[in-house]
């Protein structure tokens, strides 16, 4: 797994490697708005996780997930540390640990 200095560098590299879709977290699934689909926890896996810490503020912390579905859909999910922690199901929480 590569190490990246910035979130944008990581996103650009992952897009070049085929992670072309953007995912959003819903309470019980991932959503890909551009494809108008929802992917349940049992239908995707986290291939890579990259953590970034802001230099000036802990509010700038984020996690980037590279995700692939069983159907071959690959994309990224960006999470500011802990933003989704309270609003998702236990199955989603386990997948995104």
The per-residue pLDDT for range 13-40, each reduced to its tens digit, is 999 999 999 999 999 999 999 999 999 9
Residue 67 · residue 75 · CB < 8 Å: yes
Question: Looking at residue 44, what is its pLDDT?
Answer: 97
Point out the least confidently predicted range of 34-38, 45-49, 90-94: 90-94
E strand intervals along the chain:
21-22, 24-26, 29-32, 37-39, 44-52, 62-69, 74-80
Rounded to two decimals, the pTM is 0.87
Alpha-carbon torsion, ordered 76, 20, 46, 11, to 10 deg: -50
Q: What angle do CA 41, 42, 45 make, to 5 degrees?
A: 75
Between 44 and 90, the higher pLDDT residue: 44
pLDDT at 86 over 90: no
């Amino acid at each position: 797994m590569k190490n990246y200095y910035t979130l944008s560098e990581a996103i650009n590299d992952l897009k070049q490697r085929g992670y072309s879709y953007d995912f959003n977290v819903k309470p019980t699934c991932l959503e890909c708005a551009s494809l108008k689909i929802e992917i349940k926890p049992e239908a995707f896996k986290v291939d890579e996780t990259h953590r970034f810490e802001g230099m000036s503020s802990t509010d700038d912390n984020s996690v980037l997930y590279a995700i692939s579905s069983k159907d071959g859909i690959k994309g990224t999910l960006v999470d500011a540390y802990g933003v989704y922690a309270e609003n998702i199901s236990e199955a989603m929480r386990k997948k995104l640990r």
